A = this chain, B = another copy of it.
Amino acid sequence: MAAPVTPPRGMRDFLPADKARREHALGVIRGVYASHGFDEIETPVMEDSHRLHAGLGGDNEKLAFAVMKRGLTGDDLRTAAEAGDALALADLGLRYDLTVPLARFYATHRAALPPVFRAIQIAPVWRAERPQKGRYRQFVQCDIDIIGEAGPLAELELLNATLAALDALGLGGCAIRLNDRRILAGILASWGVPEELRERALITIDKLDKIGPDGVAAELRDLGVEQADVADEIRQLAAADWHLHDGVVPPPAWLDLDAYADLRALRAALPGAAIEFDPTLVRGMGYYTGTIFEIAHPDFGYSLGGGGRYDGMIGRFLGQEVPACGFSIGFERIVDLLEIADDARPRAVVLVHDADVPPLRLVALKSELVASGTRVRLERRVKNLKALLDRVTADGFDAFATVTAATDGADSLSFRDLA
């Protein structure tokens, strides 16, 4: 007996039933996004190492898998050892998200793309996280991004397309939480957080779900926020709604009025959807500059995806500012929630038995059956026919057939339903 053979740590194989579910769900998402005017692109799984480590990936940069240079010499290894710099031995890395590759792609191909470019990317990314339940080292993201549109039409198209995709997957009734980095900046300014500590303060607020208002207030105190009632203020922020300032109610001092008006206009443009205002929503990534959003389903206690506006990022590769906004569905989080039909074609098993018809004569019968629109699997007849039929029924087959030889060579099939 050989030693157990497994895929690499934290990574998964997909057996036929899982693979079919995944491809079906991805096809639904792809189709809805294409209907909404987005165009799918693809980039290589690897990017040049210096691009992955340019400071745009946040904490994910530390989780990147590095790909070694080819033909490394003993000298190369010694130099890296002396410098204590393993990354010097890598020239490529596996992408940890689809946003950095998209920014690189846009910089490469801008001349061939429309002025407002709506991209679909459906592809795996890799992060060397500590494997744990529900976290994988290879997982699929479904991103849509709009590059070149500065107005809220971008946010609106992204939200509308995402809701339509989730709806098509049977996940209707999702709720969207909305915020704007400008509103967060107003809150931090009202607490007197200096510019250079704002990123750290945002990281703290982002932990609200985990450490609660008192935990956040304590950490903010360490950053120099002195007010006694910060925890209460955070509770009030978390309970904020669309009536915070409607022209009648006077606005709180911390509220960025332009940003709030933009968010209200967005909500008004999607009258059927459940859209909440949450001024404590942060969405980790440091590159967001405006609107941020997160989507959840009332039946599940976690976010199904999110995104936001990142107007500064494309410029890092292009050398010229271009507005951009994106939404990412966390595919691994939704695929297990779906009750989806596989390929609807009928499936038939044809039983192969040397005594009936020589196996090589079966191919003509099989081809005819395939041409009629059936998915066909040949199975050798075994003594325990019941076990075989149970197995293929579990695999989704509807019927099985036996072959009758004809002396004139026109063999025929006799079908029986499974079920």
Q: List chain A positions with a Cβ less than 8 A from chain B.
A: 1-2, 5-8, 11-16, 19-20, 22-23, 30, 34-37, 39-48, 65-68, 70, 72, 74, 76-78, 80-81, 84, 86, 89-90, 92, 94, 104-105, 107-109, 112-116, 118, 124, 126, 128, 137-138, 151-153, 156-157, 160, 164, 265-266, 268-270, 317-319, 343, 345, 352, 359-363, 366-367, 370, 373-380, 391-392, 395
**Which of B39, B45, B374 sits near A138, CB closer than 8 Å?**
B45
Partner of A74, one of B46, B47, B84, B392: B84
In the complex, the chain B residue whose C-beta lies closest to that of A37 is B377
Q: A74-B84, A109-B13 are in contact. Are A94 and B114 (CB under 8 A)?
A: no
Chain B residue with the shortest CB-CB distance to A79: B81
On whether the beta carbons of A7 and B160 are closer than 8 Å, the reply is no
Could you say which residues of chain B place their CB within 8 Å of the CB of A108?
A: 5-7, 13
Q: Which residues of B contact A42 (CB under 8 A)?
A: 13-14, 19, 22
Given A81-B74, A360-B269, are A41 and B67 neighbors across the interface (CB < 8 Å)?
no
**Chain B hits for A72, CB < 8 A:** 86
A317 touches B2 (CB 8 A): yes
Query: Is there an interface contact between B35 and A157, defined as CB atoms closer than 8 Å?
Result: no
Closest CB of chain B to A179's CB: distance in Å?
Answer: 18
Give the Cβ gap from A17 to chain B, nearest Cβ, in Å.
Answer: 9
**In whole Å, how far is A107's beta carbon from the nearest beta carbon of chain B?**
4
Beta-carbon contact of B360 and A156 below 8 Å: yes
Q: How far, in whole Å, are A35 and B59 apart by their CA atoms in the complex? A: 45
Q: How many copies does the complex hold?
A: 2
Selected contact of A44 from candidates B11, B23, B370, B395, CB within 8 Å: B11
The answer to whether B89 and A68 have CB atoms under 8 Å apart is yes
- Contact yes or no, A317 B5, CB < 8 A: yes
Among A37, A265, A395, residue most surrounded by chain B Cβ atoms (within 10 Å): A37
Q: Which residues on the B side are within 8 Å of A23 (C-beta)? A: 30, 40
Measured CA separation A367–B46 after assembly (Å): 36
Contacts of A2 in B (CB 8 A): 107, 317-319
Are the CB atoms of B77 and A8 closer together than 8 Å?
A: no
Cα(A80)–Cα(B75), bound, Å? 11
Closest B residue to A378 by CB, please name it: B37
Cβ–Cβ < 8 Å partners of A90 in chain B: 68
Closest chain-B Cβ to A48's Cβ sits at a distance in Å of 6
On chain B, the residues within 8 Å of A66 by CB distance are 67-68
Asked if A16 contacts B39 (CB within 8 A), the reply is yes
